[in-house]
Amino acid sequence: MKSHYQILIIGGGTAGIMTAARLLKKDSQLDIAIIEPADTHYYQPAWTLVGAGAYTYKKTARPMASIMPKKVNWIKDFAMAFDPENNAVSTKSSGNITYDYLVVATGLVMEPSMIEGLQEALDKGVVCSNYTNPKHTWEVLKNFKGGNAIFTQPTTPIKCGGAPQKIAYLAADYFRKKGLTHTSNVVFATPGSVIFGVKPIRETLMKVIGRYGIHFKPFYAPHKIDAENKFIYFRHVAPEENKCVINEDTTIGEVSIDDTIIKLPFDMLHIAPPQAAPKFVRNSSLVNDSGWLDVDHHSLQHNKYPNIFGLGDVAALPTAKTGAAIRKQAPVVADNILKLIKHQKANNKAYNGYSSCPLVTGYGKMTLAEFDYDGNFTPDPKLKRMLVFNSAKEHRRLYIFKKVILPYLYWNKMLKGKDV
């Protein structure tokens, strides 16, 4: 097996496959390898719907071999460490692989150990997560007979920041259909200050919260889980100027332990685990102080090593970690690498932080949040022409777009390097 490649990509997820496919579309003679140990590639955006019984889990999975671009050398192995000074990556069983250009597209990893009790509780009993096992979420939802259904997320960055609230809305809608509304309390607790940062979307979501009677708890950071006794503890993380005496919500059995800790009983708990860059990335010289890949926010070129690029969930970009963001990042990375190969400057700085979050608000309902680095609502012109209406409002056509059209575009266009 070869040990040197012109372009080496770490990661066979959305970012790695898209970048390779786009590069080969521009120049089929490029010498590209992807390091990826997994046999299966998942379309994870559909896991929200799987967790609510509205999509088949099997349909989210395809063999990695079927989506790997044909002219790419697939190194089925684990990347273990970087040696950027010598343009090398060490692997678990294939030795050192050297490169002219490196693309870091490793994605992120779940770190449940960052919340006390979560690792032991996750995906067992009534504690579930669409991030790790959406089939278990659906089982928990079906078996729910009433009480507190709590939905929460950690203080770390997470992939698809809207996913923890999407399942809350779907659960609330499911309880309504099953006649459980009057015996159920749906709680959405977030360390954030608002339900969503983009104003037109926030206005829509606050109406959704009102419609379902969801108990919305901002500044609540999950701190500890006692799965045996079915209690979750939150730390109240409001800044000093927003701090006040915590008003206990007696309808959901909320108890203040002290000035900052709140205890809540649950009969169902859905949680997004804390998330981080993979350990070998965190332990390298390629990351910023927060442990994410240190790249330029607009060109995706590494801030220290000019022949290294990073995109997708592992990149230290102040925007949401979504496949839609990668759709806009991959063309910039591909263009800049091709420029470097031609001894030109990597001066494509076109990435403006675009990301989008399809926020499912019930069965058959969705709003589409599209935004940039500045939090502006930025509907994609192509989508706008396709959808015609205001995508900040709930619409059935948007739900169909997520459930039917987006998976088709993903498998047949995005992963093949085509413009979408």
Catalytic annotation, residues: 160, 357
Distance (Å, whole) CA 197 – CA 277: 24
Q: Which one, of 214, 190, 194, lies nearest residue 202 by Cα?
A: 194
The phi and psi torsions of 21 (rounded to 5 degrees) equal -65, -40
* Pick from 258, 293, 255, 290: nearest CA to 274: 290
Task: Identify the bridge partners of residue 99 per DSSP, sorted by sequence position.
Answer: 5
Write phi, then psi, for 147 (nearest 5 degrees).
105, -155
CB-based contact 26:4 (threshold 8 Å) = no
CB of 358 within 8 A of CB of 339? no
